[in-house]
Amino acid sequence: MQSSILTKYGNAGPPWYTIYPAAPQFSAAVGAEACEEWLRGLPADEPVSLYLHIPFCRSMCWYCGFPTTVASWDSPILDYLAVLREELRLVAEQAPQELPVSDVHFGGGTPTLIGPAEFLTLVELLRHRFAFRKTATIAVEIDPRTFTAEMAEALGAAGVTRASLGVQSFDPLVQKTINRVQSEAQTTAAVENLRRHGVNRINFDLLYGLPKQTVQSCVQTAAAAAAMRPNRLAVFGYAHVPSFKKNQRLIEEAALPDIAARAEQAAAVAETLVAAGYRQIGLDHFALPDDQLTLVQQAGRLRRNSLGYSADTPKTVIGFGASAIGRLGDGYVQNEVATRTYSRHIRAGSLATAKGCRLTDEDRVRAAIIERLMCDLEADVPAICAAHGFDPVPLLNSAERLAMLAKDGIVDIEKGCIRVRQEHRFVTRAVAAAFDAYLDRSLC
């Protein structure tokens, strides 16, 4: 990729567009009252997703950008679970009875720090509070360093169908610089334990752009990961925001690769995984040919949600736990980020909604365009606008960056249909940003 293109479009300014509007646009004007109203208005027969955030880890990874707390012992986790169970009750009382659940995701942090017995009890409570479909899927995020055979057995007994394992890098030098030492043997053992207990859909998370990371180490990590044959891999670029995440201040900035090196690493990982038989999905995912992500992409039905790419995303996502984001018909809501504040609200008998965003008609059509760009690397703007009853002309004319993107050879535009050129897929976010009405243009 040309260095001038990377310099102009390859920075970390635009959001990842898992949702639109992005979380920085949320405001306190949407709070618990709006959340209750939206919960009561949910259609009783439409499927929903449940997301449960468990914000605890045994140690802090210096690269981490998520809200999490180090818990050296179990008592904070047990206290949190008691509050989480109460939140489940409060939400279930507001939502329609027998609300059908299509999928559940346990995120973090490290959800598998919950003990096996406590995890089974929590899943049983979820099934009691909500009406799980027979085909409902349950996914959980895992840190292989703390994962046990007993927990793998509990996940199988709970009906977990998918596990996402944090890998990041297998390079010992890189691992030391990010405070996450994790051997290939630990990861292999976790995968084998999961498969032994019927959790057969395995995802890996890899990172590029880490300190002291090289193209060679990225390729070696990707090859080692592919040899374990996970169904999917997500390959993310490390976002260094030490002003926002204090733990990232422990990373040596001089050891971070520059924009050109990051792009070279990303391309090398992609080539390695494709050569190993994986199909590239959207911007940063890879999946085996028979995986559902691959199949829905081929059918033009790939979706985007707050967790990344998805094969089937219900309109409604109910978030539980500190910092959790949900989508409830008319907009987005987010719980208090601080665990203590979140717990105080729930213990007082009220929802912990701190902020949110009420969607406008224009938000919805822009979100649809952005989603197609992020999923398909192309978007038929007039067709999307027609489906939403929206005039495409003002929207296309307002996206003043489109002409610049076309001039620089990033996109081709024909009759309002925008296509990202394959060689520039790694700057797709910059194309999506052309339709972001809220974005500070000085950031991208």
- Write down the pLDDT at residue 443: 47
The CA-atom distances, in angstroms, between 253 and each of 50, 111, 176, 219 are 37, 30, 15, 22
Q: Are residues 82 and 163 in the same domain?
A: yes
* Residue at 72 is within a domain: yes
Pairing state between β 285-287 and 232-237: antiparallel
Domain containing residue 292: 22-318
How does pLDDT run across 258-314, given as a tens digit for each residue? Answer: 988 999 999 999 999 999 999 999 999 999 999 999 999 999 999 998 888 999 878
- Write down the pLDDT at residue 400: 76
* Residue at 423 is within a domain: yes
How many beta carbons lie within 10 A of that of residue 40, not counting itself?
12
- Write down the pLDDT at residue 11: 67
- Write down the pLDDT at residue 397: 83
How does pLDDT run across 344-402, given as a tens digit for each residue? Answer: 999 999 999 999 999 999 999 999 999 999 999 999 999 999 999 999 998 888 777 88
* Residue at 3 is within a domain: no
- Write down the pLDDT at residue 1: 53
Structure tokens at 241: 């925001």
* Residue at 9 is within a domain: no
Q: Are residues 26 and 145 in the same domain?
A: yes
Indicate the residue among 318, 346, 369 that finishes a domain: 318
Burial class of 29 by CB neighbour count within 10 A (0 to 12, 13 to 18, 19+): exposed
Q: Are residues 242 and 186 in the same domain?
A: yes
> Which amino acid is residue 388, in one-letter code?
H
- Write down the pLDDT at residue 76: 96
Structure tokens at 134: 């027979």
Pairwise CA distance, residues 49 & 387, whole Å: 25
Burial class of 14 by CB neighbour count within 10 A (0 to 12, 13 to 18, 19+): buried
Pairing state between β 131-142 and 162-168: parallel
Q: Are residues 142 and 278 in the same domain?
A: yes
Domain count of the fold of the chain = 2
* Residue at 1 is within a domain: no
Q: Are residues 228 and 366 in the same domain?
A: no
**3 state DSSP class of 301:** coil
> Which residues of the chain fall below pLDDT 70?
1-3, 11-12, 441-444
CB 107 within 8 A of CB 307: yes
- Write down the pLDDT at residue 298: 94
Q: Are residues 372 and 223 in the same domain?
A: no
- Write down the pLDDT at residue 9: 78
Structure tokens at 444: 């991208």
Q: Are residues 286 and 371 in the same domain?
A: no
Pairwise CA distance, residues 76 & 361, whole Å: 42
Q: Are residues 262 and 411 in the same domain?
A: no
**3 state DSSP class of 317:** strand
Helix, strand and coil in the chain, % to nearest 5 = 45, 20, 35
Residue 237 maps to which CATH number?
3.80.30.20
Half-sphere exposure of 310 (CA within 13 A, CB side): 21
Place of tokens 């942090």: 109
